[in-house]
Amino acid sequence: MKDFTFYNPTRIEFGKEKEDNIGQYVSEFSVGSVLILYGSDRIKTDGLFDRVTASLKKQGITFESVGGVISNPLVGLVREAVDVVKKNNLQGILAVGGGSVLDSAKAVAAGAKHDGDVWDFFVGKAEVKEALPVFSVMTLAATGSEMNPYGVVTNSETQQKYPIGSPLLFPKVSVINPDLMATVTPEYLAYSAVDIYSHCLDLYFTASFLPVYTAALIENILETVMRTTGVLMNDPKDYHARGEFAWAATMALNGNTFAGVEGNSYDTHMIEHAMGALYNVPHGAGLAVVLPAWMEEIKDQKPERFERFARKIFNSADGDEGISKLTQWFTSIGAPVTFAQAGLPEDAVDPIAENAFDNAKLWGMDTMYPKERIARILTLAVK
């Protein structure tokens, strides 16, 4: 075990109808007014918005709301939301949606306490020193944002999809009610499964030191994702499968998988963020394209890790077969594994590689990933 700090103060309220208590949770933190941030208007037609606001009103909590957050959420909307918060002097941010909404909410929470442009935090021009408290009611499980201090937002003008992170951005309370996720489309279920998978595999295959306990923890998350995705593809309303899927998503990026690990990096995310920034590919779809190709590129660096993966996850003695079986599984759940399937033109290799190389520089990974190597991985994925 290598040295580590584990700290995660987010409270998870998991279960049926827990969103009806959101007013109470918010009031426990002496927050008297919030900005409700959300995505599509679906939450207005399916009754969720009304139930959440009824719960807030019951506690005397006032609110404003801003909708329209999209997949690969844009800093433009974050800026608008920051203005609403500042103008109304709101005391907290309540995200109602999936990872994109919550990621945006974190940016708003930091931006509301910052005099300059919120994008400053993403490009290293400012540090988060203060933030409004963030709460969430999740309607999609994938990013793990509900129990971590990170967010990713896209700047469409500069074509940058960049992360923000600060211990101040841990949500205070996140509600995970599997019933709210029962209407996720099969397409987005597949993307979510791939996102969780990549959070795990980025670490699993890059770590220079991986405790056996942590390897097995990751394998348990992967097994859970595969098993429950299979169940949910047949029966989207299976509550326990939906619940285990959601909890696996949370566990994949809440710090548990980092414990005692050394030398890990988020390679497929570094590349995928470029796809999202340039072509607005859904995050999970982009990852499905990158992941098998990336595994091909790096497999000879840690053959024993690839053998373990093949053995534990696919009951195969052959490391290469682990990659092909994973690719087959992605295809079987409807995740794209080629440029064409993801709707990316072949000539996108160069611009994505260039954009990803900017990420690599920002993340301190440019020695490991020169532009040519990123292009080679992407070319493998063109097929």
Q: What is the Cα–Cα distance from 329 to 321, expressed in whole angstroms?
A: 12
Whether 148 contacts 171, CB under 8 Å: no
By CB under 8 A, is residue 212 in contact with a second copy?
yes
Helix axes 349-362, 267-279, angle to 10 degrees: 130
CB of 238 to a second copy, least distance (A): 11
Q: What is the DSSP string of 15-66?
A: STTGGGGHHHHHHTTT--EEEEEESSTHHHHSSHHHHHHHHHHHTT-EEEEE
Helix axes 186-206, 267-279, angle to 10 degrees: 140
Q: Is 192 exposed, middle or buried (0-12, 13-18, 19+ CB in 10 A)?
A: buried
By CB under 8 A, is residue 240 in contact with a second copy?
yes
Among 7, 124, 234, 347, binds a second copy (CB under 8 A): 7
Among 9, 60, 186, 343, binds a second copy (CB under 8 A): 9
Closest-CA residue to 194 (of 136, 259, 268):
268
Q: Is 237 exposed, middle or buried (0-12, 13-18, 19+ CB in 10 A)?
A: exposed
By CB under 8 A, is residue 13 in contact with a second copy?
yes
By CB under 8 A, is residue 12 in contact with a second copy?
yes
By CB under 8 A, is residue 239 in contact with a second copy?
yes
Query: What is the 8-class DSSP label of residue 10?
Result: P
By CB under 8 A, is residue 129 in contact with a second copy?
no
Whether 122 contacts 230, CB under 8 Å: no
| SS3 label, residue 209 | strand
What part of residues 159-198 is at the interface with a second copy (CB under 8 A)? 178
| SS3 label, residue 104 | helix
By CB under 8 A, is residue 44 in contact with a second copy?
no
CB of 248 to a second copy, least distance (A): 6
Whether 332 contacts 185, CB under 8 Å: no
Q: x/- binding map, residues 246-285, to a second copy, per CB under 8 A?
A: xxx-------x--xx-------------------------
By CB under 8 A, is residue 243 in contact with a second copy?
yes
Given the complex with a second copy, which of 160 and 250 has the nearer CB atom?
Answer: 250
* Site size for a second copy (CB under 8 A): 37
Given the complex with a second copy, which of 16 and 86 has the nearer CB atom?
Answer: 16
Among 4, 29, 60, 350, binds a second copy (CB under 8 A): 4
Given the complex with a second copy, which of 10 and 143 has the nearer CB atom?
Answer: 10
By CB under 8 A, is residue 213 in contact with a second copy?
yes
By CB under 8 A, is residue 157 in contact with a second copy?
no
Instruction: Please give the residue ranges that form the binding site for a second copy (CB under 8 A).
Output: 1-9, 11-16, 18, 178, 211-213, 216-217, 220-221, 223-224, 227, 239-240, 243-244, 246-248, 256, 259-260
